[in-house]
Structure 1
Amino acid sequence: MLRSLDIRDMLIIDRLELVFQPGLNVLTGETGAGKSILLDSLGFVLGWRGRAELVRQGADQGEVIAEFDLPESHGAWDVLREAGFGYDDALILRRINGRDGRKTAWINDRRVSGDILRAVSETLVELHGQHDDHGLLNPRGHRILLDDFGNLAPRLTAVRAAWKDLSVAKKALAGAEVRIAELQAEEEFLRHSVAELDGLSPSAGEDADLDKQRRKMQAAEKIGEDIHKAYQALGVNGAEGQLSDAMRWLGDASGQADGILDAPLASLERAMIELGEAQSGVETCIAELAFNPHDLEQAEERLFAIRGLARKHNVLADELGPFADGLRERMAALDRGASDLAELAEVLATAQAAYDGAAGSLSDARRKWAGKLDKAMAKELAPLKMERAVFVTEITPSDAGPDGADTVSFTVATNPGAPAGPIGKIASGGELSRFLLALKVCLTGTESGLTLIFDEIDRGVGGATADAVGRRLSQLASQGQVLVVTHSPQVAALGDHHWRVEKRQTKDATLSTVVGLVGADRIDEIARMLSGDRITDEARAAAIALLPA
């Protein structure tokens, strides 16, 4: 419920603090005293669209603070949790309007966007007046109101879940059809490319290996002759033969050289060993460089083939294998396309049947509760002096959607024999307000935690009708909190709490204030509403008679 409202420098209010209570809170006062300014200020802090110029003349900024007392289960906390808030003992909304028109809002001292503020406010307050009956004038609102009246949320949830499954199934089938059509368009390319890649069957790293072999064989052609010359120079006709001769000659002479040739001979023996290792290495090289010219031709042909396919498909040579795997998968998808489409079509048919069943069940329930709502409305309209009016909830088929396949429309005929039509076009302002009030009474208990505000909903009615309006407002307030701006003494007398809005003149400005009324002051205010500016004893007596015993 709305606990308090603190207004500073808004329009003709300099400073005003109001503390509200559960039950029926009534605000009265002469026309022009500023009752609408209170609603404008409340709408401002809730983020509603309203007047552009709200700051009081001469002030730098206007400010409104609204405090709500809400249980942890209230829907406002669900909205705030999604925005990163935690539960607190109180919910405090604060909004500032600068002289430059800039608006800034806070919730529990944390700055928030206008979208979050409005999302929260939708769970807190509902305003109704002769020009604010959006729930009645908006056909989409009619469906929501009927679903609330029949407690059809579980059925609606089932329909929305079925619609989601149906949408997913439709999207899956449509996507598959597009993909298969694309595959069919490139079928010739796929089959040719896969055959070409399968014929070559390149492996990862093969390009580098072939390039290495090719370079090695090309190098062998260039250096082979020099290596063979070197091998000959190291052999028996070359270095090996000369070293052998030298060792034989020195060996023959060493016996007569008194050991002087021992060291040279030892060096020559080591040289022969190193020479043998060199010969062995050169032989190995000659063996490794030996190749068949046909092998070079084959290596080059395969290397060029691999690189040609890589260029053709715009991939790296080492990626040809995975690329071929991808093409094979697409071919496999193409080959099983018919069976895939059949499976998806079956899933879609199942989802469609599930949706049709859930939507049909919801439609049946709506028709059932539409009749109950019409009967409940007939019962409520009679005391509001609209017993000749006929209220009918019409349900017609509409395009399927997440909320079912029904259009719900409230139609009325205000007099016997008069044509029925949409409530927003047939009912006058006063009638529309009474239709709204009757509907709200019928829906009592279906809305949770909302503070209801009625702005002069009793305009144009008086006497017993005004009393009936007041009693239904009191009935609504018995289960929560209702604020009503009224000119009707019958309605004011039934309030649990009463405030009078007054306008006072100072030397430099006109200011509006609100005074809480109890006892004799309240009697005088109701008497003024009955008789005008001159309050008589008879008016006071009539006021006392209106007050509940």
Structure 2
Amino acid sequence: MLRGLDIRDMLIIDRLELSFQPGLNVLTGETGAGKSILLDALGFVLGWRGRAELVRQGAAQGEVTAWFDLAPGHPARAVLEEAGITADDELILRRVNTREGRKTAWVNDRRVSGEVLRALSDTLVELHGQHDDRGLLNPRGHRQMLDSYAGIEAELLQARDAWRTLSAARKTMAAAEAQVAKAREEEDYLRHAVAELDKLAPEAGEEATLDTQRRLMQSAQKIRSDIGKAAEALGLNGAEGMISDASRWLIGVADQAEGQLEAPLDAIERIQLALDEAQSGVDRCLEALSFNTSELEEVEERLFAIRGLARKHGVLADDLRGFADDLRARLDVLDSSADKLTALTRDVKTAESAYDTAAARLTELRKTAAGALDAAMAAELAPLKMERAIFATEITPTEPGPEGHDAVAFQVATNPGAPAGPLNKIASGGELSRFLLALKVCLTEAGSGLTMIFDEIDRGVGGATADAVGRRLAALAAEGQVLVVTHSPQVAALGGHHWRVEKQQSSDATLSTVVQLDADARVDEIARMLSGDSITDAARAAAKELIKT
């Protein structure tokens, strides 16, 4: 519920503070006094898109503050929680607009974006008028309104879940079909490539091993010659024989050397052991270098085959085995595609059946609610002097979606036998106002917590019809809070709280202000609305009679 509005330096308002009450709050005033400016200011602090130039001439910046009471469970609390803002019983919105056009907003002293303001505004305020293309006149929102009227939240959740399941099943099916189609396009290639790779069966690291063997074999003859010479130099005709002779000669004279040859003999023994190890290693190398010419040919043939396949498929030689596994997996998809697609088709049909059942249930409930809404509208239109008008909720098939496959549009015919059509195409200004009011009365939930604003919704009507409009507004306000901007004395007389918007002009400035009216001032204002600038005793008497009734 809107409790107050503080406006500073906005348009032609220098400083204005208003305190609103529950029930029907009425704002009146002469044309051009600035009633629409109040709505512009409220829309600004709520993040609505409106006028570009809002700052009062001569001021550095404009500022609007609005504060609301939040009942427990109010929908705004969920928005605040998502934005990380503590939700108290009082909600304070403040927004500043500089002369340069920069806008800054706060919620409970926490700086926020315009998106957060607009999300909050959807839970706080509804604006209705003859140009209400954001709400009741927008066909895109009619299905949601009917669903809210029908109270089918649980069925909507079931339909959304069924749609998500169906969408996921179709997506999986489409991906599998695309995968199979791609595999079929390259089936010949896949089977040939897998067979070729399986026949060669390359291993990771094999290319490097073969390359080393090949280079070793290619230079083996030269290597064997040098290693053979080394083996001979180490053998009996070389180092081994000379070391053996030296050892024998020293052993023969060791006893006469008084122990001085023990260390050299130990060293010679170690040399002999190392020499034996060297000879064994050289012999093993000579044995390893022994090969047939055919062995080199075999190594080269396999090495070149591995490198050729790697170039052909654009992968590293060490990755050929993994590449073969990938190709084999793609073939497996193709080979098992029939069973997989059958299972996925079954899943899609099951999901379609569940969705169709949920969507059909929504259609059934919507048709029932449409009949109830049409009857409720007929009952509301009669006291508004439109008993011959027809309101019909049209439900037609549309593309399936998360909330079923129904399109909903509110259609009206102002006279029996006349063709029905959209609200804003068929009804005149005064008729449209009454249609909107009746529809809002029917659709509004008690305790919704919304402040409803009606901007000259009584335009084009007068007399008993205006009185009927006022009474419906008063009935609507009994459940919460309604603000109405009106030129109708019949509507104004039914207000629980009354403000007059006035324009004050001086030689160098024009300012708009709002005055809360006491009982006597209220009589004079309604008398002015009845008779014009000259307020007569008869007009005052008529005003008192309107207020009394």
Tell me the TM-score range normalised by the shorter chain. Answer: over 0.9
What is the Cα deviation at residue 171 of structure 1?
2.0
Structure 1 residues 121 and 267 mapped into 2: Cα distance closer, same or farther (>3 Å)? Answer: closer
Contact 2:393/2:410, CA 8 A, preserved across alignment: yes
Deviation at 1:290, TM superposition (A): 3.6
Q: CA separation of 1:340/1:259 partners in 2, compared to 1, >3 Å: closer, same or farther?
A: closer
Could you tell me how far apart the structure 1 residues matched to 2:3 and 2:514 are? 16
Deviations 1:192-218 (A, max 9, x none): 111111112222232333334444444
Q: Which moved more, 1:384-393 or 1:292-301?
A: 292-301
- Partner SS, residue 459 of structure 1: coil
Contact 1:26 1:485 in 2 (8 A): yes
> Higher mean Cα deviation, 205-214 or 121-130?
205-214
Distance 1:300 1:151, change over 3 A: same
Q: CA deviation at 1:319?
A: 1.8
Equivalent position of 2:229 in the other structure: 229
Aligned to 1:494: 494
SS in 1 for 2:372: helix
Report the Cα distance in structure 2 between the residues aligned to 1:212 and 1:231, rounded to whole angstroms: 24
Q: Distance in 1 between matches of 2:441 and 2:391?
A: 15
- Report 1:33-52 matches (<5 A): 33-52=33-52
1:23 matched to 2:11: no
C-alpha distance after superposition, 1:347-374 (max 9, x if no partner): 1111222222111111111111111111
Pairs within 5 Å for 1:208-247:
208-247=208-247
Deviation of the 1:429 alpha carbon: 0.9
Equivalent residue letter for 1:224? R
Alignment partners' CA distance in 2, 1:440 and 1:93: 26
Moved more, 303-312 or 353-362: 303-312
**1:44-63 counterparts in 2 under 5 A?**
44-63=44-63
Q: How far did 1:39 drift?
A: 0.8
1:154 to 1:265, Cα distance in 2 relative to 1, 3 A: closer
Equivalent residues of 2:446, 2:479 under 8 A apart: no
Question: Does residue 380 of structure 2 align to residue 412 of structure 1?
Answer: no
Change (3 A) 1:272 1:423: closer
Q: CA deviation at 1:23?
A: 1.3
Instruction: State the 1:14 CA deviation.
Output: 0.5
CA drift of 1:483 comes to 0.4
Give the 3 Å change call, closer, same or farther, for CA 444–280 of structure 1 in structure 2.
closer
1:171-190 deviation line (CA, Å, top 9, x unaligned): 22222222211111111111
Aligned residues: 549
Are the aligned partners of 2:234 and 2:240 in contact in 1 as well (CA < 8 Å)?
yes
Q: Secondary structure, in 3 states, of the residue corresponding to 1:491?
A: helix
Task: Give the corresponding residue for 1:387.
Answer: 387
Q: 1:92 to 1:219 in 2, by over 3 A?
A: farther
Distance in 1 between residues matched to 2:59 and 2:269, nearest whole Å: 115
| TM-score, with structure 2 as normaliser | 0.92
Paired letter, 1:167: S
Q: In 2, Cα distance between the equivalents of 1:68 and 1:380?
A: 30
**Residue 129 of structure 1 contacts residue 456 of structure 1 at CA under 8 Å; is this kept in 2?**
yes
Q: State the partner residue of 1:523.
A: 523
Displacement after TM superposition at 1:447 (Å): 7.6
Q: CA 1:110/1:293 → structure 2, altered by over 3 Å: closer, same or farther?
A: farther
Structure 1 residue 68: Cα displacement: 1.9
5+ long unaligned stretches in structure 1: none
Checking the alignment, whether the CA contact within 8 Å between 1:505 and 1:511 is kept in structure 2 is yes
- Secondary structure (helix, strand or coil) at the match of 2:123 reads coil
Q: Structure 1 residues 484 and 248, CA, compared in 2 at 3 Å: closer, same or farther?
A: closer
Match of 2:160 in 1: 160
Which residue identity does 1:432 align to in structure 2?
L
Conserved 8 A contact 2:85-2:110: no
- What's the counterpart of residue 283 of structure 2? 283
SS in 2 for 1:49: coil
Where does structure 2 lack aligned partners over 5 or more consecutive residues?
Answer: none
**1:365 is the counterpart of 2:365:** yes
AA in 1 matched with 2:30: E
Matched ranges for 1:50-89 at <5 A: 50-71=50-71, 73-89=73-89
Change (3 A) 1:15 1:276: same
1:246 CA displacement: 4.9
Work out whether residues 3 and 21 of structure 1, in 8 Å CA contact, stay in contact via their aligned partners in 2: yes
2:70–2:88 contact (8 Å) kept in structure 1: no
Residues 532/258 of structure 1: CA separation in 2 closer, same or farther (3 Å cut): closer
Counterparts of 2:543 and 2:471, CA distance in 1: 16
Q: How far did residue 137 of structure 1 move? A: 2.7
C-alpha separation between the residues in 2 aligned to 1:428 and 1:486?
18
Match of 1:190 in 2: 190
Q: Which residue of 1 aligns with 2:349?
A: 349
Report if aligned partners of 1:148, 1:446 keep a CA contact under 8 Å in 2.
Answer: no
Q: Distance in 2 between matches of 1:450 and 1:164?
A: 32
Change (3 A) 1:279 1:165: closer
Q: 1:265 to 1:122 in 2, by over 3 A?
A: closer
CA RMSD of aligned residues (A): 2.5
Deviates more, 1:497-506 or 1:166-175: 166-175
Identity %: 68
Q: Which residue of 2 aligns with 1:6?
A: 6
Q: In structure 2, the residue corresponding to 1:319 is in which secondary structure?
A: helix
Distance 1:138 1:245, change over 3 A: closer
How far off is 1:85 after superposition?
A: 3.2
Label 1:446 to 1:199 Cα distance change in 2 as closer, same or farther (>3 A). farther
Please show how residues 397-546 of structure 1 align to structure 2 within 5 Å. 397-445=397-445, 448-546=448-546
In the alignment, the residues of structure 1 paired with residue 55 and residue 418 of structure 2 have an alpha-carbon distance, to the nearest angstrom, of 48
Alignment-mate amino acid for residue 131 of structure 2: H
Give the TM-score normalised by the residue count of structure 1. Answer: 0.92
Pair 534,285 (structure 1): closer, same or farther in 2 beyond 3 Å: same
Superposition deviation, residue 82 in structure 1: 3.3
Alignment of 1:241-320 (within 5 A): 241-247=241-247, 271-320=271-320
Instruction: State the secondary structure of the residue aligned to 2:135.
Output: helix
- Alpha-carbon displacement from aligned partner over 1:235-274 (angstroms, at most 9, x marks no partner): 2233333444455566667788888878776665555444
Change in Cα spacing, 1:465 to 1:230, as seen in structure 2 (3 Å) is: same
Q: Distance in 2 between matches of 1:465 and 1:243?
A: 136
Task: Give the whole-Å Cα distance in 2 for the aligned partners of 1:278 and 1:498.
Answer: 117
Superposed CA deviations along residues 475-501 of structure 1, whole A, max 9, x for unmatched, are 111111110011122211221211111
Q: Distance in 2 between matches of 1:210 and 1:37?
A: 88
Structure 1 range deviating more: 149-158 or 362-371: 149-158
CA contact (8 A) 1:391 1:410 kept: yes
Q: Is the 8 A contact 1:133 1:436 kept in 2?
A: no
3-state SS, counterpart of residue 137 of structure 1: coil
Q: Distance in 1 between matches of 2:251 and 2:525?
A: 148
Residue pair 1:136, 1:424 contacting (<8 A) in 2 also: no
Separation in 1, partners of 2:447, 2:432:
20
Residues 82, 286 of structure 1: CA spacing in aligned structure 2 closer, same or farther, 3 A cutoff? Answer: same
| Separation in 2, partners of 1:412, 1:455 | 22
**Cα offset for 1:423?**
2.2
Tell me how far apart the structure 2 counterparts of residues 232 and 284 of structure 1 sit (CA, whole Å): 14
Equivalent residues of 1:11, 1:55 under 8 A apart = yes
**Structure 1 Cα separation of the partners of residues 297 and 351 of structure 2:** 63
Paired position in structure 2 for 1:106: 106
Residue 168 of structure 2 aligns to a residue whose secondary structure is helix
Compared CA separation, residues 133 and 538, structure 1 to 2 (3 A): farther
Deviation sequence 1:95-146 (CA, Å, 0-9, x none): 2222233333333333333333222222221111122254343222222222
CA distance, structure 1, for counterparts of residue 393 and residue 219 of structure 2: 95
How far residue 405 of structure 1 moved from its aligned partner, in angstroms, is 1.8
Instruction: Give the partner amino acid of 2:143.
Output: R
CA deviation vs aligned residue, 1:128-169 (integer Å, no higher than 9, x gap):
112225434322222222222211232222222222222222
Deviates more, 1:466-475 or 1:165-174: 165-174
Q: 2: distance between equivalents of 1:489 and 1:508?
A: 33
CA gap of 1:73–1:291, structure 2 versus 1, over 3 A, is: farther
Mark the CA change 1:446 to 1:353 in structure 2 (over 3 Å): closer, same or farther: farther
Alpha carbons of structure 1 residues 212 and 534: separation in structure 2 relative to 1, 3 Å: same
- Deviates further, 212-221 or 389-398: 212-221
User: Which stretch of structure 1 is more off in the superposition, 170-179 or 184-193?
Assistant: 170-179
Alpha-carbon deviation of 1:333?
0.3
